[in-house]
Amino acid sequence: MKHVLTIPMRLMSEANTHQHWRKKYERNKRQTNGVRLVWSSQCPSVAIPCRVCLVRTGPRKLDSDNLVYAFKAIRDEVGALIRPGLVAGQADADGQGIEWSYGQEIGLYGIRIEIEHDQPLYRDGKALC
């Protein structure tokens, strides 16, 4: 099963911004609130293990290390939404059933979150796998 969430948001590389900590905090808060808003409106239920691809669209491409760093707050929030028992920042750890990948496209500013997972089998409300 595949879920695709699209958010019209400009994503900047945090690695090259030398700003006051409060500006960074507010930008990260806007990003996580945007993810949470779209997630709650589309209500995807995701089974672990899953694959998450974070795609940035913009007029220019970022280099690979800046791309990963730009998605830091969004990756933390998506991980926390998929694994709700853990704190944001810990739920996205590698080896915990979530496989992360990143991509870029040329176009208008925005981000796309693609989540793929196998449909679990249920009987009497309990998962069989």
**pLDDT tens for each residue of 51-104:** 999 999 999 999 888 999 999 999 999 988 888 887 767 777 767 788 999 999
Q: How many structural domains comprise the chain?
A: 1
Residue range 25-42: average pLDDT?
Answer: 89
Task: Give the DSSP H/E element, type plus range, for residue 55.
Answer: strand 50-58
CATH number at residue 92: 3.30.1330
The rounded percent of the chain whose pLDDT value lies above 70 is 89
The domain of 112 spans 2-127
**In terms of DSSP bridges, do strands 50-58 and 110-117 run parallel, antiparallel, or are they unpaired?**
antiparallel
Q: Residue 104 has what DSSP assignment?
A: E
Distance CA 30, CA 7 (A): 12
**DSSP letters spanning 64-84:** HHHHHHHTHHHHHHHHHHHST
What is the token pair recorded at 63?
Answer: 């280099």
Q: What is the pLDDT of residue 93?
A: 73
